[in-house]
Amino acid sequence: MKKLKTTLLCLIAGTVLQTSAQNMNPIYLDNNQPVEKRVEDALSRMPMEEKVELCHAQSKFSSHGVPRLGIPEIWMSDGPHGVREEILWDSWSAAGWTNDSCTAYPALTCLAATFNPELSHAYGVAIGEEARYRRKDILLGPGVNIYRTPMNGRNFEYMGEDPYLASQMVVPYIQGVQQNGVSACVKHFALNNQEEWRGHINVNLSDRALHEIYLPAFKAAVEEGHVWSIMGSYNQLRGEHCCHNDLLLNKILKGNWKFDGVVVTDWGGAHDTKQAALNGLDIEMGSYTNGLSSKAKFGYEDYYLAKPFLALLKTGEVPVSVLNDKASRILRLIFRTAMMPNRPYGRFVCPDHSSTALKVAEEGIVLLKNDRQFFPVPTGKYQKIAVIGENATRSVTEGGGSSTLKVKYEVSPLEGLVARYGKEHIVYSMGYASGPSLYDREEPSKMNTDSLFNAAVETAKNADVVCFIGGLNKNHFQDAEGGDRKSYGLPFGQDKLIEAILKVNKNVAVILISGNAVAMPWVKDVPAIVQAWYLGSEGGNAIANVLCGETNPSGKLPFSFPVKLEDNAAHSFGKLSYPGDSINEYYKEDILVGYRWFDTKKIKPQFAFGYGLSYTTFEYGKIATDKKTYSPDEAIRVSFTLKNTGKVDGAEAVQVYTSQPKASVMRPEKELKAFKKVFLKAGETQTVEMEIKVKDLAFYNEATQSWTVEPGEFVLCNASSSADVKSKVAIQVQ
């Protein structure tokens, strides 16, 4: 009997030890196991309460892990132009760290203007390295909402008006970020195309417009970029908030596109527990019920996907399978990021990152006008260069809402020009001012609009050449989150100042720093115009390099500049089309957004989509295709020659547009279907080759709820912009 007891005790002990060993070395901790096995294993060890905790925030920028199992929490940071400074656990106030000053990269309008997917990948790698070094798991960007109106306060955070351009630029950005073990978080899904009433405005639009214009970049992010997280938008679509919208999240994103990642709310974007549970939301973030401004008590445990969610699960009103799906997605994200095998360590504010920021800024700057070969201005050409405008010295990494950055350094345009031309040749005058800088607090009479205005005109009168550096500045109601612009014109009396300067000096260049198109009543009078965007840490150096000719400009506009606001499609239909009646908004222009509207309606823009000048000239050869007839599963191979006919090296973003002259539905005059950044030495000729899949000539068929390629004739053209077609070729689709 004693021997039997001993044997039983040994067997029990062995079992305990074996079980203990298994618990000590679970599959979810084994990096050699497939992610899905790790997810399944971790999920099996968690009670309902721990799974629910995964689904909501625990601080301003983090959500729960599972401490008991050694599964870390998820840490997020605003992007998409740099890694935001650390803030307090439960406050938007800065934490006061001394090691969180980042590299500022150019805004995404600038990145889109490069028309260079390879550069987009480099951008993603660099910002991903900075996010990883700062121990972030999700970088909240990039943004790919479509530029529908130049009044949208957040257009500078997005990639322009064309869904194909945005699709081609977002995929390499995502891949670059995520190779660092940091999830990109593409936003804002979907139709967040204005800040006015963004928290509740109900968008009404056709299925064609939804699928052809507003969803393609998100689809590319999922199916080609394999993005790990997506952020919902504040607005409603067809009566449901987009952060828990059955059509967008369940049917399209997770159903049709097979998205296996995590859907995160925009902060405070959830409004109902049952809808949040059943309509595709995974992680609820925020501060209070309405985001940032309310002081009502709404603790993290009170979030819709916290205790109220648990209560619905316990009563059976929401199936446990719904919770398991959310928890599985969140665990999958953690294993892809914080618990990723061989996760890189990242890098922070290093020369390579500065070089990438400079390269993006230089390639994104767009030369809009250059009469009399005003630019380049080589060093030594002029004795006195007047630099006028507050934006020459104002920081453009601050303001704008969630894109605000605490930067290690920022080179202003004035600093860049002084470094390039020499202090003795530069004279600066502020000209205009915004905000608290308008008045000298100790002696208010010293600084007012009249004195600034008059001093600038006097400075211009005595200069050989004037560089007016103005535009917008990320103030509220300019380019900023939380409010749309109030006027299409330049703020702070800049138009009047430019006109006054022109009366005393005709050698005036206007350098616009903005993320939006602006009215240009002086466009015919100034010999040179440069669109310089928000260029980040290296902005001043990039501007100086382009103006002096060290860098040949090659940027192209990612959106059209209308002459007047009424020429824009959204505005042409009145207030119900934009900004709506505060409850509903109707996209009456349908699929005719941007150049599709200008081209189809024969309205001449101020500057066309895809437009941008160079210091050299390019000669396009006639476009040709590899054959004349194609089946729907084939690809069209197009080719043409491109020659640099000037005296300096340069780059041209060549574009190929397609059209269908006879179709059963309305189709735009033309649509971008291919582009390529081509670098050529002076005098060099290159054969440009591109490929267009026949299936990409389809339109979204509302009758069948599917994509349709109709047989018949299609026309392809090569172009330097949507308004400058070089040649055409017709093909037949069987």
Q: 237 pairs with which residues across the strands?
A: 203, 240
**Same-domain check for residues 420 and 288:** no
Distance (Å, whole) CA 66 – CA 75:
14
- CATH number, domain at 641? 2.60.40.10
Intervals of the chain under pLDDT 70 = 1-24, 287-297, 435-447
**Same-domain check for residues 416 and 297:** no
Residue pair 622/684 in contact (Cβ under 8 Å)? The answer is no
243 DSSP assignment: G
Q: Tell me if residue 584 falls in helix, strand or coil.
A: strand
Those residues with Cβ within 8 angstroms of residue 504's Cβ, 6 or more apart along the chain or in another chain: 457, 460, 461
Residue pair 510/519 in contact (Cβ under 8 Å)? The answer is no
Which of 497-504's residues contact partners 24+ apart within 8 Å by CB, and which partners?
Answer: 497/388, 497/431, 497/432, 497/453, 497/456, 497/457, 497/468, 498/468, 498/470, 498/522, 498/526, 499/525, 500/453, 500/457, 501/388, 501/456, 501/457, 501/460, 501/466, 501/468, 502/526, 504/457, 504/460, 504/461
State yes or no: is 495 an active-site residue.
Answer: no
596 found inside a domain: no
Distance (Å, whole) CA 235 – CA 266:
10
Q: How many CA atoms lie within 13 A of 685 on its CB side?
A: 5
Residue pair 723/730 in contact (Cβ under 8 Å)? The answer is no
Residue range 669-695, pLDDT digits in tens: 999 999 999 999 999 999 999 999 999
Q: What angle is formed at CA 88 by the lines to CA 87 and CA 89, rounded to 5 degrees?
A: 120
Q: How many helices and strands, by DSSP H and E, does the chain display? A: 18, 28
Residue pair 467/385 in contact (Cβ under 8 Å)? The answer is yes
Q: Tell me if residue 56 falls in helix, strand or coil.
A: strand
Give the amino acid at 600.
T
571 found inside a domain: no
- pLDDT given for residue 8 in this prediction: 42
Distance (Å, whole) CA 535 – CA 551:
15
311, 686, 355: which is closest to 538 by C-alpha?
355
Give the amino acid at 108.
L
Taking the model in full, what pTM does it have?
0.94
Distance (Å, whole) CA 723 – CA 720:
8
Q: Rounded to whole angstroms, what are the CA distances from 626 to 194, 642, 685, 689?
A: 43, 18, 20, 10
**Same-domain check for residues 536 and 391:** yes
Chosen domain end from 529, 555, 581: 555
Burial of 96 (0-12, 13-18, 19+ CB in 10 A): exposed
- CATH number, domain at 537? 3.40.50.1700
29 found inside a domain: no
Q: Rounded to whole angstroms, what are the CA distances from 639 to 654, 695, 696, 725, 731?
A: 11, 19, 18, 15, 14
- pLDDT given for residue 239 in this prediction: 97
> Which structural domain range is residue 70 located in?
47-87+99-336
Q: Quick check: bond before 142 cis, omega within 30?
A: yes
**Same-domain check for residues 112 and 248:** yes
CA 252 distance to own-chain centroid? 21
Other CB atoms within 10 A of residue 363 CB: 26
600 found inside a domain: no
- H helices of 432-575, in order, are 449-461, 494-504, 539-548, 569-572
Residue range 295-314, pLDDT digits in tens: 556 788 999 999 999 999 99
**Same-domain check for residues 466 and 369:** yes
- Residue 586 tokens read as 């109707």
In the chain, how long is the greatest CA-to-CA distance?
114
Distance (Å, whole) CA 557 – CA 554:
10
566 found inside a domain: no
Residue pair 482/401 in contact (Cβ under 8 Å)? The answer is yes
**Same-domain check for residues 368 and 325:** no
**Same-domain check for residues 385 and 301:** no
Distance (Å, whole) CA 269 – CA 119:
33
55 found inside a domain: yes
- Beta strand 528-531 pairing with 366-370: antiparallel
**Same-domain check for residues 325 and 378:** no
Number of structural domains found in the chain: 3
467: alpha, beta or left, given left = phi > 0 and alpha = psi -120 to 50?
beta
- Beta strand 262-264 pairing with 229-232: parallel
Chosen domain end from 555, 570, 592: 555
- Residue 309's H or E segment, with its range, is helix 307-315
Q: At residue 26, what are phi and psi to the nearest 5 degrees?
A: -70, 160
Residue range 523-533, pLDDT digits in tens: 999 999 999 99
Averaged confidence pLDDT in the chain: 94
- pLDDT given for residue 440 in this prediction: 44
- CATH number, domain at 249? 3.20.20.300
**Same-domain check for residues 408 and 452:** yes
Residue pair 87/76 in contact (Cβ under 8 Å)? The answer is no
**Same-domain check for residues 370 and 314:** no
**Same-domain check for residues 329 and 367:** no
Q: Tell me if residue 435 falls in helix, strand or coil.
A: helix
Residue range 486-538, pLDDT digits in tens: 999 999 999 999 999 999 999 999 999 999 999 999 999 999 999 999 999 99
Q: Tell me if residue 628 falls in helix, strand or coil.
A: coil
Catalytic residue among 78, 100, 162, 266: 266
Chosen domain end from 555, 579, 598: 555
**Same-domain check for residues 282 and 172:** yes
705 found inside a domain: yes
Other CB atoms within 10 A of residue 480 CB: 24
Residue pair 301/307 in contact (Cβ under 8 Å)? The answer is yes
390 found inside a domain: yes
